[in-house]
């Protein structure tokens, strides 16, 4: 039997699937075994098909094995007599089609292994000489295919072994993003051209298959354009870039550290110390919400009165009620690691946000949100650094301030190639110094994205709106109204590389009667 042994290269169940759908009634196997074996056979078939066309020495090498061929009938007899191929639970292989010579060889290999096991038992397992003669003839005719099949399976096993030896981790997935950006301002905004970078490495670990521990390392030198004074004598956070991050000489920091796990039925719990609201809530701005691949301007990313409230340490929870309705809530503290008076997890700056999400249709989604925030002295930033200086700190940074904000945000997929999104936000802020001072704030935004514009995977987006503005209250209204408009075209170079040229401009910057700020950006993004 040594002649047979050298071709025993695949498991019998794998070979069984090689004859799948050929009308032979046999033993049953589990669905899991069939799925695993089908996957293995598909890998072998794909490997076979990927090779180049070579010359052959016999016309038989170009023929499939038909049910009327002697070889097919001979193998069928061996299968039925020795049970060397398993089938579906109803004991059939469903069909009567021709086999490729490689598929036939896989089935033949299974029978060789089964007969070899039988003849090694006392009494030869009932294998007769006629069957051995048929098997020997089949082996001679399909010797080339059996040898090739063995080599290719060995090759696949080698590749699997290599991947197992060189994988990063069995529980942790590493992903990365690199952004290199060129930004140019007109003289009103500062007049400089900058070239900067941002690098992020994310480690996602799972311990149950359903949970996730996320750690993110970040380094960058993308400057804050909000601190630049232009020739109009104004500096404003309205000029800030969405992907801004400056860690000081590209020093590496940990800017995400949180754990997410299922809780109750259709619920998800978030706990962490580096966990902003944007990582918990749906923002309903699908083509602008990404920090690295979304908006170019900070304001156009999402509703700042809801998702740019203070704090990154605390707890969040999402509860889904079927396909159409969900509820999300969070409590996040701004100085949770500070043990001094007026700080900590419950005695300092914090935000508490709740949102009801409703999806009337598969193409239309919306969220109704409320945010209650407290800003301790020195931490006041009501509009999340997206609006005017008065809108950010209406009573100065030294006065503790509370705010109550309401937001409605929505996204609507008009058709396969057009998406509409936007938001409206209202807010009221009070000075916590006993003076009774208060202000009202208002913001809105709308954008349209054209998917697969001029190229598959490309996105052309036009966005615009009013950053949070003080519109009333004891301080009155700001004198002018700023609008931020943005146009960008994200063009994929490959699956993992894209470039995004774009421009955004701010009319009446800082809600004053000033010349328009214009900022052009060329953002290149690499992901891996």
Domain of 409, CATH number, reads 2.40.160.10
pLDDT at 90: 52
pLDDT at 506: 97
Q: Is the pLDDT of residue 34 over 70?
A: no
Q: Are residues 205 and 292 in the same domain?
A: yes
Q: Are residues 119 and 209 in the same domain?
A: no
Query: What is the DSSP code (8-state) at residue 230?
Result: -
Q: Are residues 84 and 230 in the same domain?
A: no
Q: Are strands 517-527 and 438-451 parallel, antiparallel or unpaired?
A: unpaired
pLDDT at 89: 53
Closest CA to 304 of 268, 265, 340, 353: 353
Q: Are residues 261 and 119 in the same domain?
A: no
Q: pLDDT confidence of 96, banded at 50, 70, 90?
A: low
Q: At 344, list the tokens.
A: 């900590």
Q: If you search the block for the tokens 């953002």, which residue do you land on? A: 523
Please say which residue of 140, 166, 192 terminates a domain. 166
Calculate ∠ Cα 20-21-23, nearest 5°.
Answer: 115
For 284-394, where are the alpha helices, taking DSSP H only? 304-307, 389-392
Q: Among 24-38, 343-357, 383-397, which stretch is predicted with the lowest mean pLDDT?
A: 24-38
Q: Are residues 310 and 412 in the same domain?
A: yes
pLDDT at 238: 96
Please say which residue of 126, 148, 166 terminates a domain. 166
Per the CB < 8 A criterion, the answer to whether 113 and 158 are in contact is no
Q: Which 3 state secondary structure label does DSSP give 150?
A: helix
Q: Is the pLDDT of residue 425 over 60?
A: yes
Mean pLDDT of 300-318: 97
Q: Are residues 145 and 228 in the same domain?
A: no
pLDDT tens string 453-501: 999 999 999 999 999 999 999 999 999 999 999 999 999 999 999 999 9
Mean pLDDT of 327-345: 95
Q: Is the pLDDT of residue 29 over 80?
A: no
Mean pLDDT of 418-446: 98
Q: What is the pTM of this model?
A: 0.71
Mean pLDDT of the chain: 84
> In terms of residue numbers, what domain contains 214?
172-527
Which helix (H) or strand (E) segment holds residue 79: the answer is: helix 70-82
Q: pLDDT confidence of 102, banded at 50, 70, 90?
A: low
Mean pLDDT of 181-195: 92
- What percentage of the chain reaches a pLDDT higher than 90? 64
Span between the terminal Cα atoms of the chain, in Å: 51
Q: Is the pLDDT of residue 359 over 80?
A: yes
Q: Is the pLDDT of residue 409 over 50?
A: yes
Q: Are residues 244 and 375 in the same domain?
A: yes
pLDDT at 138: 78
Q: Are residues 8 and 73 in the same domain?
A: yes
Closest CA to 429 of 387, 395, 397, 398: 395
Indicate the number of domains in the chain: 2
Q: Are residues 19 and 126 in the same domain?
A: yes
Gap between the Cα atoms of 344 and 399, Å rounded: 19
Closest CA to 443 of 461, 420, 427, 462: 427
Q: Which residue has the higher pLDDT, 176 or 108?
A: 176
Gap between the Cα atoms of 330 and 350, Å rounded: 10
Please say which residue of 111, 132, 166 terminates a domain. 166
Which helix (H) or strand (E) segment holds residue 39: the answer is: helix 31-50
Per the CB < 8 A criterion, the answer to whether 343 and 311 are in contact is no
pLDDT at 46: 47
Q: Are residues 190 and 94 in the same domain?
A: no
Q: Are residues 126 and 264 in the same domain?
A: no
Q: Are residues 160 and 205 in the same domain?
A: no
pLDDT tens string 202-256: 999 999 999 999 999 999 999 999 988 888 888 899 999 999 999 999 999 999 9
pLDDT at 160: 67
Q: Is the pLDDT of residue 26 over 60?
A: no
Q: Which residue has the higher pLDDT, 114 or 163?
A: 114
Calculate ∠ Cα 524-525-527, nearest 5°.
Answer: 160
Per the CB < 8 A criterion, the answer to whether 388 and 442 are in contact is no
Q: pLDDT confidence of 59, banded at 50, 70, 90?
A: very low
Q: Which 3 state secondary structure label does DSSP give 175?
A: strand
Question: Which residues contact residue 20 at a Cβ distance below 8 angstroms, ignoring those fewer than 6 apart?
Answer: 38, 93, 94, 95
Q: At 414, list the tokens.
A: 């008009």
pLDDT at 118: 79
pLDDT tens string 499-526: 999 999 999 999 999 999 999 999 999 9
Gap between the Cα atoms of 129 and 122, Å rounded: 16
Mean pLDDT of 191-197: 94
pLDDT at 424: 99
pLDDT at 33: 41
């Amino acid at each position: 039997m040594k002649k047979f042994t050298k071709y025993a290269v695949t498991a019998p169940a794998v070979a069984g699937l090689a004859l799948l759908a050929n009308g032979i009634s046999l033993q049953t196997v589990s669905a899991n075994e069939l799925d695993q074996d089908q996957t293995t056979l598909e890998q072998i078939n794909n490997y076979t098909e990927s090779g180049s066309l070579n010359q052959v020495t016999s016309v038989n090498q170009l023929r499939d094995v038909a049910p009327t061929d002697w070889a097919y009938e001979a193998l069928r007899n061996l299968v039925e007599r020795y049970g060397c191929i398993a089938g579906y639970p109803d004991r059939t292989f469903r069909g009567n089609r021709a086999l490729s010579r490689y598929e036939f060889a896989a089935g033949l290999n299974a029978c060789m292994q089964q007969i070899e096991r039988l003849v090694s038992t006392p009494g030869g397992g009932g294998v007769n000489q006629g069957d051995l003669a048929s098997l020997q003839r089949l082996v001679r005719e399909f010797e080339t295919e059996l040898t090739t099949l063995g080599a290719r399976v060995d090759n696949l096993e080698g590749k699997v072994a290599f991947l197992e030896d060189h994988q990063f981790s069995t529980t942790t997935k590493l992903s990365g993003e690199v952004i290199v950006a060129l930004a140019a301002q007109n003289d009103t905004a500062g007049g400089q051209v900058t070239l900067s970078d941002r690098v992020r490495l994310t480690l996602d670990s799972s311990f149950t298959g359903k949970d996730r521990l996320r750690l993110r390392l970040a380094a960058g030198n993308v400057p804050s354009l909000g601190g630049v004074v232009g020739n109009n004598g104004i500096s404003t956070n309205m000029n800030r870039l969405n992907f801004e991050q400056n860690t000081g000489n590209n020093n590496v920091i940990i800017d995400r550290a949180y754990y997410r796990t299922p809780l109750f039925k259709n619920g998800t719990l978030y706990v962490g110390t580096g966990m902003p609201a944007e990582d918990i809530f749906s923002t309903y701005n699908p083509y602008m919400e990404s920090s690295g691949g979304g908006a170019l301007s900070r304001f156009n990313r999402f509703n700042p009165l809801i998702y740019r409230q203070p704090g990154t340490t605390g707890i969040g929870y999402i509860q889904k009620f079927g396909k159409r309705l969900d509820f999300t809530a969070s409590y996040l503290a701004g100085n949770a690691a500070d043990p001094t008076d007026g700080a900590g997890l419950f005695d300092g700056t914090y935000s508490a946000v709740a949102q009801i999400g409703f999806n009337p249709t598969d193409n239309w989604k919306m969220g109704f949100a409320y945010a209650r925030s407290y800003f301790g002295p020195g931490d006041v930033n009501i509009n999340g650094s997206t609006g005017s200086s008065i809108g950010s700190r209406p009573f100065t940074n030294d006065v503790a301030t509370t705010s109550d904000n309401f937001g409605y945000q929505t996204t609507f997929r008009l058709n396969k190639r057009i998406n509409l999104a936007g938001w409206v936000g209202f807010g009221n802020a009070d000075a916590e110094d006993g003076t009774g001072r208060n202000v009202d704030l208002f913001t809105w935004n709308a954008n349209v994205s054209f998917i697969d514009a001029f190229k598959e995977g490309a996105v052309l987006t036009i966005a615009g709106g009013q950053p949070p503005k003080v519109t009333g209250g004891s301080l009155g209204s700001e004198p002018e109204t700023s609008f931020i408009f943005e146009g960008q075209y994200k063009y994929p170079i490959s699956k993992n590389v894209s470039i995004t040229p774009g421009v955004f401009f701010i009319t009446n910057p800082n809600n004053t009667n000033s010349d328009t700020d214009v900022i052009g950006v060329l953002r290149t993004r690499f992901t891996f």
